[in-house]
Amino acid sequence: MSLSFDPDRLDLPRGHFIGGRYVPAAGVLPMHRPSDGVEFAACPVASADLVDQAIASAKAALAASGWATCAPRQRTRVLQRWADLMEEEAVRLAQLEAFCSTRPVGQLVAGDIAVTAEQIRFFAEFADKEGSDLVPTGADSLGMIMSEAYGVVGAITPWNVPLSMAGWKLGPALAAGNAVVLKPSELTPYSTLFIAELAVRAGVPAGIVNIVLGDGATTGTAITGHPDIAKVSFTGSTGAGAAIMENIARSGIRPVTLELGGKSPQVVFADADLDLAANAVATSILANAGQACVAGSRLIVEDRVAARVIETVLHRMRTVTAGPTWDEASTYSPIISDRQRGRIDAVVQQAIAAGAECLAGGGAIDHPGYFYAPTLLAGVTQDSTAVREEIFGPVLTVQTFSDEEEAMQLADHPVYGLAAGLFTRDLSRAMRLTRRLQAGTVWVNRYSRSRDHILPTGGYKRSGIGKDLGREAYLANRKTKSVLINL
Ligand code: NAD
């Protein structure tokens, strides 16, 4: 069956999702389809009052449903059913995400949805396996570390992989026994609304998952500053992360997980499998047109093999298949908005004006919508804007080195430390340099996540605080109480 579809014939969920049902709301923020620029709807903006109602609904549901206190295996079963429903409804889910985001429908079904369902199952299994501990204390006492759900978690997600990001937040928070009020990006809310609907269908009590739509300034701020939000979990830009920390500090201190921006290096040594390395580098900057937090946007390659690696990357860049996200044959994504495409182009033009050599791309693709050509910039230095700033587009810079020390100097970034790639056949070097790289994830001879959801993800430096995925993400959604009993 073909996954291609007509974006004009989609029936969209309307309004917020609070207390287990859709709450209709007037649209405020104009929404455009990135694939053809058509304005198709407007996103509502939940006021502080509506956010308050959603949080009250979550609190009431926690009190009435026993979600946090039921036999934990009950949560496991319900969440597994939820994952099954995501797979059963994969086509509608993919359509709801594809038509207004940058994710091609084919990649959604084979990738994002399958992976998200599996991650939900992964987290569901923690519910009855991670718990309180008895700890060694003196013989006249009993020491315990008691683990409990937080209560209502406030979550905020970005537009670049909307469903995956919602899964990263909802999976561990729900398995750990919390209720959630989640605000998806105002550009891509529909797949998140639909999985909330599926959660209720799977048996998650109404009110445990609430989705409020809106922007950061009004709705996001109301969530992160609300006194009844017990924990905040955010994925987005470093700037918004800083604003959220400030709001939390002002409105009442509580724990926060921040998954923020990156400017990740991919370091290729001459002894690497050069085809493998060049293809991994290309795939990483072409996937989602570079709109990925872990995009390996800085190629740092040993000078004597630079020409060969660059040739392969250029070939991959010149042979992408740009097309609308609703066409199954499309593999190269548009940029999320005209504004973001303008931002990308401004950095590229500034780099060229400052002396960078543009080896590929350097402008929009002649196609309806917001496509930008894969771009390769050589002749850049550590202080070029194109090397320093997260561009969040299909722009790769290339720098060369002659020895390990120089490679590590170039790889280090003053602000970001989300991920790094190392390509070498020398195991000692791989281990030595893995220790030196200041990044929350290091991939060696690959540049992508696997389906090993046990590996946490998160940033060093200003790329974030705390982890998503892995056992860490589950534990971050539980608080602990130390108990000491005199016997
Ligand atoms: P963004 O920071 O502009 O917005 C992210 C979300 O935060 C949106 O829902 C937005 O409405 C909301 N928001 C913005 N300002 C807010 C505020 N002051 N208070 C509360 N909410 C606020 O980011 P974006 O453009 O949607 O996404 C791209 C960014 O996300 C990039 O920087 C990328 O690196 C980052 N990202 C990081 C990861 C990770 O795992 N580290 C994953 C995906 C994306």
128-171 per-position pLDDT tens digit = 999 989 999 999 999 999 999 999 999 999 999 999 999 999 99
Taking a C-beta distance cutoff of 8 angstroms, is the pair 102, 336 a contact?
A: yes
Which residue spans within 20-151 are E strands per DSSP? 21-23, 29-32, 39-43, 133-135, 141-149
pLDDT at 294 over 90: yes
- Cα 258 to middle of ligand 1, angstroms: 10
Question: Ligand 1: does its nearest atom lie under 6 Å from the Cβ of 185?
Answer: yes
**Which range of residues forms the domain containing residue 393?**
265-452
293, 391, 416, best to mutate for ligand 1 pocket (most atoms within 8 Å of CB)? 293
43, 237, 390, best to mutate for ligand 1 pocket (most atoms within 8 Å of CB)? 237
User: The domain spanning residue 404 has which CATH number?
Assistant: 3.40.309.10
- Cα 486 to middle of ligand 1, angstroms: 48
Question: Ligand 1: does its nearest atom lie under 6 Å from the Cβ of 158?
Answer: yes
How confident is the model at residue 248, as a pLDDT?
A: 98
234, 260, 463, best to mutate for ligand 1 pocket (most atoms within 8 Å of CB)? 260
Tell me 468's DSSP state. Answer: B
Question: Ligand 1: does its nearest atom lie under 6 Å from the Cβ of 261?
Answer: yes
User: The domain spanning residue 67 has which CATH number?
Assistant: 3.40.605.10
Reported for 437-444, long-range contacts at CB under 8 A and 24+ positions apart, including other chains, are: 437/408, 437/411, 438/412, 438/413, 439/264, 439/463, 440/464, 440/467, 441/294, 443/419
Q: For the chain, how long is the longest CA-to-CA vector?
A: 77
> What single-letter amino acid sits at 480?
T
* Residue 343 domain-assigned (yes or no): yes
* Residue 1 domain-assigned (yes or no): no
* Residue 459 domain-assigned (yes or no): no
* Residue 444 domain-assigned (yes or no): yes
> What atom in ligand 1 is closest to the CA of residue 340?
25
Count Cβ atoms below 10 Å from residue 276 Cβ, excluding itself.
Answer: 15
Count Cβ atoms below 10 Å from residue 19 Cβ, excluding itself.
Answer: 18
How confident is the model at residue 1, as a pLDDT?
A: 82
Distance (Å, whole) CA 281 – CA 275:
10
Sequence-distant (≥ 6) Cβ neighbours of residue 280 within 8 angstroms:
266, 296, 421, 423, 446, 447, 448
Taking a C-beta distance cutoff of 8 angstroms, is the pair 259, 235 a contact?
A: yes
**Exposed/middle/buried for 304, CB within 10 Å: 0-12, 13-18, 19+?**
exposed
Same-domain status, 445 and 304: yes
Question: Ligand 1: does its nearest atom lie under 6 Å from the Cβ of 189?
Answer: no
- The predicted model gives 88-98 an average pLDDT of 98
Question: Ligand 1: does its nearest atom lie under 6 Å from the Cβ of 155?
Answer: no
Q: What digits encode the pLDDT tens for the residues 245-282? A: 999 999 999 999 999 999 999 999 999 999 999 999 99
- Cα 330 to middle of ligand 1, angstroms: 26
Same-domain status, 228 and 163: yes
> What atom in ligand 1 is closest to the CA of residue 237?
32
Same-domain status, 285 and 246: no
Same-domain status, 154 and 255: yes
Distance (Å, whole) CA 10 – CA 12:
6
Same-domain status, 206 and 339: no
Same-domain status, 380 and 394: yes
pLDDT at 322 over 90: yes
> What atom in ligand 1 is closest to the CA of residue 463?
41
* Residue 298 domain-assigned (yes or no): yes
Question: Ligand 1: does its nearest atom lie under 6 Å from the Cβ of 262?
Answer: yes
Question: Ligand 1: does its nearest atom lie under 6 Å from the Cβ of 248?
Answer: no
The band of 218, judged by pLDDT with boundaries at 50, 70 and 90, is: very high
How confident is the model at residue 423, as a pLDDT?
A: 98
- The predicted model gives 192-208 an average pLDDT of 98
* Residue 458 domain-assigned (yes or no): no
- Find, among 5, 24, 19, 452, the residue nearest to 200 by Cα: 19
> What atom in ligand 1 is closest to the CA of residue 224?
20
Q: What digits encode the pLDDT tens for the residues 21-74? A: 999 999 999 999 999 999 999 999 999 999 999 999 999 999 999 999 999 999
Same-domain status, 104 and 235: yes
Sequence-distant (≥ 6) Cβ neighbours of residue 97 within 8 angstroms:
103, 108, 112, 162, 163, 188, 190, 191
* Residue 166 domain-assigned (yes or no): yes
Taking a C-beta distance cutoff of 8 angstroms, is the pair 170, 54 a contact?
A: no
Token pair for 198? 């599926």
Residue of the CA atom closest to atom 14 of ligand 1: 216
Sequence-distant (≥ 6) Cβ neighbours of residue 332 within 8 angstroms:
286, 289, 320, 321, 322, 323, 371, 374
Nearest-5° Cα angle at 153, 11 to 148: 135
Distance (Å, whole) CA 86 – CA 453:
18
**Exposed/middle/buried for 12, CB within 10 Å: 0-12, 13-18, 19+?**
middle
Same-domain status, 471 and 413: no
Q: What digits encode the pLDDT tens for the residues 366-421? A: 999 999 999 999 999 999 999 999 999 999 999 999 999 999 999 999 999 999 99
Query: Could you give the number of structural domains in the chain?
Result: 2
How confident is the model at residue 239, as a pLDDT?
A: 97
Token pair for 54? 């959603």
Same-domain status, 252 and 271: no
Which pTM was predicted?
0.97
- The predicted model gives 338-354 an average pLDDT of 98
- Cα 293 to middle of ligand 1, angstroms: 10
Write the DSSP string, 358-394: EEE--SB-SSSSS-B--EEEES--TTSHHHHS---SS
pLDDT at 356 over 90: yes
**Exposed/middle/buried for 71, CB within 10 Å: 0-12, 13-18, 19+?**
exposed
Q: What digits encode the pLDDT tens for the residues 410-461? A: 999 999 999 999 999 999 999 999 999 999 999 999 999 999 999 999 999 9
Question: Ligand 1: does its nearest atom lie under 6 Å from the Cβ of 160?
Answer: yes
Active site (catalytic) residues = 259, 293
Q: Where does residue 20 fall: left (phi above 0), alpha (psi -120 to 50 degrees), or beta otherwise? A: left
Residue of the CA atom closest to atom 39 of ligand 1: 259
pLDDT at 14 over 90: no
Same-domain status, 228 and 344: no
